[in-house]
Amino acid sequence: MSHSSKQKKGKRTATDVFFDTVGAVVPSCGPALRLVELGQERPLKLSEKLVLFYNTPLCLHCNCNRAKFKEEKAKMLSIRGSAER
């Protein structure tokens, strides 16, 4: 592999940067689902709770994972509720 082809792999386009920025600003189902699943394994840190709260609306443009999110969040809350007793 030549040096120039290694450089091209590491370069990020303006489109990559744009979608990363949008993904960080607009609530998304990916981080929300990951945090709900993590919350079932262990208590969430304050910063993780804030990210979960921010991403709870999920994707505003679709219902792609809304049912799964609600189901997993209910499991998380029941696990956390029984662990605190």
At residue 28, does pLDDT exceed 50?
yes
Query: Count of domains in the chain?
Result: 1
Nearest to 40 by CA among 83, 1, 11, 5: 83
Residue 5 lies in a domain: no
Residue 28 lies in a domain: yes
At residue 85, does pLDDT exceed 60?
no
Mean pLDDT computed over 2-18: 64
Residue 64 lies in a domain: yes
User: What is the rounded average pLDDT for all residues in the chain?
Assistant: 77
Q: Specify the residue for token string 């960080």.
A: 24
pLDDT-based confidence at 2, cuts 50/70/90? very low
Mean pLDDT computed over 7-30: 72
- Whether the Cβ atoms of residue 42 and residue 76 lie closer than 8 Å to each other: no
- What range defines the domain where residue 70 resides? 22-84
